Amino acid sequence: MRELIENKFEQFLVDLETIVNIDSGSGYVPGLEAVVAFFQERFQKIGWMTTNHSFDDGKVPCLEVTNKQISGNDSAFDLLFIGHMDTVFGKGTAATRPFSKDEKRAYGPGICDMKGGLMTMLHVAEILQQTGVADDIALAMAFNSDEEIGSRGSRSWYESLAAKSRCVFVFEPWRATGDRILHRKGGGNFDVICHGKAAHAGAAPEDGANAVIELAHQILAVKELARIEIGTTVNVTVISGGTADNVIPDYAKASVDVRIAEAKEGQRIEDGFQALGRNVHTPGVRVEVCGGINRPPMAPSEKTTRLWEQIAGVGESIGLEMTLTTTGGCSDGNYTAAMGIPTIDAMGVRGGDVHSEDEYIELDSIVPNIHLMCEIVKAFADGRIS
């Protein structure tokens, strides 16, 4: 199997270059549909079944792939693979900064997070089909396109697939340190919006209600919600307000990123943000809060831990060092783990500097990782992992 994978390495890079050079930022439907079309054609070539889905009024095209026809409530998939097609990069990025590589790394927008993982899913499927392993196991794959913005449109769809699956593998990147992930923080996003009253800043400032000044007070209050010692972070990330130098601003907004390591922190954070509007410091200003905690923490259950031990044994048997870490970043695995389904994350390629111009993958991680996933699936098919 390893030799077969090695022989497909150059094709992997050709395929990866193709999809990296397609702009597929969240909400950019033409690019996302182009990525869907690429994968749909390839899966159909090996005889796997594909189903197109579209959520959020067409803004979230998704692709469902299965190797067997599953019907009825009593049927189940052995494994569900999940990967997201959307990136954080806007239209035109691929033309400005296309796929490139050197002797050790490949670069490009979304190559690590997570087009390398998507390509791993495809090539694993092709190897499993070619070797006959796919005959003895029921696999489903979910390619969604709104993970970077919270998976609000696609979540219920892939959760329905997860509910029919024995376990879930998420193909987010394998950490640069070589670690996989069983634990992620949960989190969410809030907007704190201050509505004031405009006035001439020189002639009649007293007639106005300064939304920017109030927002400054609210930002300080938001900062106090953090509990670093237990893993709760609260960070103001974007602020806006005002229209002109000589106008008292009637509007100001702050966007806030929240991460929580403990599920119980979610309610405290929600309550804290809702309390902001009851503590206004500037007369005439109204404070509005939008958003919320949208991902629960991903915490391994006993069943997940036992599964990892078996998977680690498979990896070690082919010479890989199988180690774990935790991260503040969220993934679709947060949702499937919260459903009580064993979820193993970071099964994509190894890389780093995600969401930046320097995003990369390590070329020498590709073949070992595909080999690992094929051996894991084979172990499920043989009954060596249960």
Is the pLDDT score of 47 beyond 60? yes
Is the pLDDT score of 74 beyond 90? no
Residue extents of the structural domains in the chain: 2-184+298-382, 186-295
Query: Which 8-state DSSP code applies to residue 201?
Result: T
Decide if 175 contacts 350 (C-beta within 8 A): yes
Would you state the pLDDT for residue 253?
98
Query: Class for domain 2-184+298-382, per CATH?
Result: alpha beta
In this prediction the pTM is 0.88
Quick count: other Cβ atoms within 10 Å of Cβ 83? 28
Q: How distant is the alpha carbon of residue 226 from its chain centre?
A: 23
Please give the share of the chain, as a percent, with pLDDT higher than 90.
Answer: 92
pLDDT tens-digit map of 240-259 = 999 999 999 999 999 999 99
Distance, in Å, from the CA atom of 38 to the CA atom of 50, rounded to the nearest integer, reads: 12
CA dist 75 to 70, 138, 307, 371, Å?
Answer: 6, 10, 21, 28
Mean pLDDT of 86-113: 97
* CATH number of the structural domain 186-295: 3.30.70.360
Would the CATH topology of 2-184+298-382 be identical to that of 186-295?
no
Tokens of 197: 């009253």
